[in-house]
């Protein structure tokens, strides 16, 4: 007697599939403003937006730049890790729940199953 085993998570209507593939439909997110200050008289404020490209593997970062007023200027295209590292480098504090809400999951871990055999 042979048994055919199907993984239910591959089917679209399974709860595991819906939980795994859920991401918001919104594509452009306003992150807020961030103030930089150096010496006296040398400070400015930048507003940030991120835009999801495709299914969320690439993100475009927009910001306001000196001399452009409130116009959004494309800063660059980043993947999930690079985007988080950029915000850490400019000391713009965003918590993990915000990244989860817009579809950037930080807690993904890849396990090598050969080590457990």
Q: Global pTM?
A: 0.62
Rounded mean pLDDT, 17-43: 71
Q: What is the pLDDT of residue 57?
A: 80
- CB of 8 within 8 A of CB of 20? no
The pLDDT score that the predictor gives to residue 62 is: 93
Is 77's pLDDT higher than 90?
yes
CA 15 to CA 29: how far, in whole Å?
27
Start-end of H helices in the chain? 15-21, 80-89, 96-102
Where are any strands of DSSP class E within 38-112?
43-53, 58-64, 72-78
Task: Write the pLDDT tens digit of every residue in 37-66.
Answer: 777 777 778 888 999 887 778 889 999 877
Question: Is 70 exceeded by the pLDDT of residue 75?
Answer: yes
Beta carbons within 8 Å of 6's beta carbon, 6+ residues apart: none
Q: What per-residue confidence (pLDDT) applies to 12? A: 59
């Amino acid at each position: 007697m042979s048994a055919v085993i199907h993984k239910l998570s591959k089917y679209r209507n399974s709860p595991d599939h819906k939980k795994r593939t859920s991401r918001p439909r919104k594509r452009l997110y306003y992150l807020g403003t961030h103030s930089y200050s150096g010496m006296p008289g040398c400070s400015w404020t930048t507003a940030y937006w991120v835009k999801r490209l495709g299914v969320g593997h690439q993100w475009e970062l927009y910001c306001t730049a000196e001399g452009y007023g409130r116009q959004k200027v494309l800063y660059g295209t980043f993947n999930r890790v690079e985007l988080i590292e950029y915000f850490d480098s400019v000391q713009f504090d965003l918590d993990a729940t915000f990244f989860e809400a817009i579809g950037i999951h930080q807690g993904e871990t890849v396990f090598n199953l050969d080590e457990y055999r």
